[in-house]
Structure 1
């Protein structure tokens, strides 16, 4: 087999190689674009995850929430006691106001 016998096949072979190169480079570009989009999404998710983690770290834990609940129940009890103590004072104030209004007439 001589080199001159292969010469007619050189054109189609170069054309086929060009097509293969184009297809491979287009796939590479498509993959690079897809990876860029994925990288952008991962960056956005990392930012959101950092923000959420920062917010969660500030929240009270289970023990703190329980202590707050106990403190609130103590405050409610104290408010009920104060309400009971203020009731006679309010009644006295109302009677005093009525007495003063009668004195003005």
Structure 2
């Protein structure tokens, strides 16, 4: 009886197994990241996170300032009341303009009369 033992198997196929193992090791070594490359990638990530955090803080500050400025602005109802008040004032000014036209013409006639009186006295 011819026994096939582990020792015979290793003796027969040991060289091929060693070659396959070496090729597998080389292949796997290119698929995994090195410790230095991993540390470098973590450092870059931390730098990007810090930059993004600073940008977010700056945006939060800007939003806070804008919100505090908007609180002081009138709302739409107040703006509408202001528009209506301005319209009433414009109407009153037009009325005053019409009422002052006769006074202006009287002042012009009075000035002309006084000029004529001054020219005759001279």
TM range (shorter): 0.7 to 0.9
Task: Give the aligned length.
Answer: 88
Structure with more of its chain in helix, by fraction: 1
Structure 1 residue 58: Cα displacement: 1.5
Residue ranges of structure 1 left out of the alignment (5+ in a row): 1-15
**Structure 1: which 4+ aligned runs deviate by more than 6 Å?**
none
Partner of 1:38: 52
TM-score by length of 1: 0.79
Partner of 1:8: none
Give the secondary structure class of the aligned counterpart of 1:84: helix
Partner of 2:22: none
Partner of 1:9: none
Residue ranges of structure 2 left out of the alignment (5+ in a row): 1-28
Q: Aligned to 1:64, which of 68, 74, 78?
A: 78
Structure 1 residue 22: Cα displacement: 0.9
Structure 1 residue 33: Cα displacement: 0.3
Structure 1 residue 21: Cα displacement: 1.6
Partner Cα distance (1:35, 1:98) in 2: 83
Give the secondary structure class of the aligned counterpart of 2:74: coil
TM-score by length of 2: 0.68
Give the secondary structure class of the aligned counterpart of 1:59: coil
Partner Cα distance (1:25, 1:57) in 2: 48
Q: Greater CA radius of gyration, 1 or 2? A: 2
